[in-house]
Structures are given as structure tokens and as C-alpha cells.
Amino acid sequence: MKVLVAGGAGFIGSHLIDALLKENHTVVCIDNFFIGTKENIKHLKGNKNFIFYEQDLCDINKLKSIFEKEKIEYIFHLAANSDIQASAKNPVIEYNNTYTTTFNILECMRLYDVKKVFFASTSAVYGEKNGVDVAENNTTLEPISYYGASKLGSEAIINAYTYMNNYKTLIFRFPNVIGPRLTHGVIFDFIKKLENNNEKLQILGDGNQTKPYMYVYDLVDAIIKFKDKIEEGVTIYNIGVDTHTSVTKIADIICEKMNLKDVKYDYTGGKGGWKGDVPKFSYNLNKIHSAGWKAKYTSDEAVEETVKEELKKRGYK
């Protein structure tokens, strides 16, 4: 099968491509390197089943030419701005990279008769629920970040295109995903700060912000497992882990792995780290567990593995 991975040079997208190639699919990757990196896909150079286009998905005419040429059968849409703090300062980032990319892909699917799509959505569509378990169909959707709003808008337009064109659509709403090739986020920020000053670490908020952190290999495993198990219409799953990790715990793990003792934590105060941050989040995962999937890594284990990978990359033993 020939598939398109939009945002395939990104952290999650590049891991998904690896898994799809192992299943002997031909993978067309489109990325403009806004978030993704050439480093993430350099190991794929020379692979006869990997086709790469350095292209902005906001340019629908160039996107149409790719659809015309490649005869794509399945879309995996992971193109988005995943750096929520960046778009807090410039909301246009989300309109272009998260919402417009979705609309353009859906329109090309309509024009070129592609019927299957996976969309990477997010827990941010639920908004701030103060740690109450949120389920797919019985929870209000009230995003508080531009990122969450653009993902929810994308879900809405996906629903309309799916109904009007008889698509088979799979949507995963996932939490913070971490692992090898991660380029931003709290783990990345803490390590950089500690490299600059190993005696004091500034932590945004009160350190009690607590969220589920999911290992990227678990997420990719679920995408691969469910990608062909969808019927006509939209199927939505919360996906994640049923454990949680606090920001202070992340700092503790990093300090331990860097062999740093007596680091003073400097909390900025407040329940959230920054405007648009959801300080506590918890999923109801009954639906996906009942469908036969469960994460292998706990939240703490995902953090520990990610820290070890990042430190190894930076030359730590």
C-alpha cells in the first residue's frame, strides 16, 4: 500500500514511517521542517520505498500535484505545530500548521478519491478538567490553548468531510508523547537549564502539574494495530497511559540521571506553568483498553527512557 505521512520528519511521524516501512508499505513523506528535522529521516535515504517531498502543506496547489503523481491510498496526518508555547505568542502558527494543513489534506483526499485517514489529535481538545477522567463522548470539549482549539477545529472539518465523502477515519487523542528524537518540551528544557546551571533549576508553576506521559513506541504500536480496523465514519480513541508524572518528579529523574545532587528548585508559582497549560489531566482509557490495546510503559518509565536517550545523545554515560 502507498501511504502519505504528513509531518513525517517530525518526532512521532518519523517513528511511524519506520514502522510502516517494516510492514513493506511505500511511504510518501511531506514535511517543511517547521518542527521536523532532516536528522529524523536521514537513515531513510536510499530506501526505495521512501519518497520525500520538502513541501509546505499550506500550498494546496503543490499538494495537489503530489496527490496526482503518487496515487496515495491512506493518509497519516501528523503535521501540526506541537510547540504550544510558541503558538501562544503567535496564534497564526496554529491556523497555518495545524488547521490549514488539515483542510488542504482533506480537500485533496476528496479530489483524488482517497478514503482512509488517520488524524493525530490531542488531549488539549478537552481543556482544563482539573484531573477528572475525560472520556471520548461524554465530556465537554473546551480547549484553552490555540493548539487545542485548532485541533478541535480540525476534528470538526474531518467529521464533515468524512460524512460527505464516505471516508474511513481514525482519530487518536493523545497526551504528552515523549521518546527518542524529542526536540522540545519540559524534559528537553530541564536538561538544557541544568547544563547551563547545575546548582539551581527554575520550574514554571508550583511543580505539581501532573500529566500522563506516553512513550512514542507505544503510540506507534497502537496506530499500526488500529489503522486497518476502522469502518466507514469517524472512530475516536483516547490513547495514553493510566499513570501520571508531576513536573517535580521529572526534575528529580533528570537530576538523578545526570548525577546531580542538591539542586535547588526555583518554582515560579501558580498552578499552571504558562497561559494555556493544563496543570492536571487524566484520561478515561476504557474504550481503547476494551479494544485490546494497552501501553507497555508507565508514565514514569516513559520519562526515564526519554531522559536516558537524550543524555546519551548529548554524550553522557
Indicate whether 85 pLDDT > 80: no
HSE, side-chain direction, 13 A CA sphere, residue 282: 9
Q: Is residue 282 part of a domain?
A: no
Task: List the one residue out of 196, 175, 159, 190 whose CA is nearest residue 126.
Answer: 175
Q: Is residue 287 part of a domain?
A: no
Residue 131, pLDDT score: 67
Please check whether residues 222 and 101 belong to one and the same domain: yes
Q: pLDDT of 189-241, one tens digit each? A: 999 999 999 999 999 999 999 999 999 999 999 999 999 999 999 999 999 99
Please check whether residues 83 and 141 belong to one and the same domain: yes
Coil vs helix vs strand at 60: helix
pTM, full prediction: 0.92
Please check whether residues 46 and 129 belong to one and the same domain: yes
Please give the span between the terminal C-alpha atoms of the chain, in angstroms, as a whole number: 42
Catalytic residue among 147, 161, 217, 283: 147
Q: How far apart are CA 158 and CA 232, in angstroms?
A: 13
Please check whether residues 121 and 97 belong to one and the same domain: yes
Q: What is the CATH number of the domain that holds 303?
A: 3.90.25.10
Total domains, the chain: 2
Backbone angles phi, psi at 20, to 5 degrees: -65, -40
Residue 276, pLDDT score: 64
Please check whether residues 194 and 117 belong to one and the same domain: no
Please check whether residues 60 and 191 belong to one and the same domain: no
Please check whether residues 165 and 100 belong to one and the same domain: yes
Q: pLDDT of 152-203, one tens digit each? A: 999 999 999 999 999 999 999 998 999 999 888 899 999 999 999 999 999 9
Q: Is residue 36 part of a domain?
A: yes
For 309-316, what is the mean pLDDT?
91
Q: What is the CATH number of the domain that holds 15?
A: 3.40.50.720
Distance of CA 18 to the CA centre of its chain: 16
Q: Is residue 285 part of a domain?
A: no
Q: pLDDT of 260-301, one tens digit each? A: 999 999 999 887 665 667 778 888 999 999 999 999 999 999
Supply the range of the domain harboring residue 171: 2-177+214-238
Please check whether residues 70 and 203 belong to one and the same domain: no
Please check whether residues 187 and 135 belong to one and the same domain: no
Please check whether residues 187 and 170 belong to one and the same domain: no
Q: What angle do CA 32, 33, 37 make, to 5 degrees?
A: 145
Known active-site residue 147: yes
Please check whether residues 116 and 230 belong to one and the same domain: yes
Q: Is residue 289 part of a domain?
A: no
Please check whether residues 259 and 143 belong to one and the same domain: no
Q: How far apart are CA 131 and CA 199, in angstroms?
A: 32
Q: Is residue 143 part of a domain?
A: yes
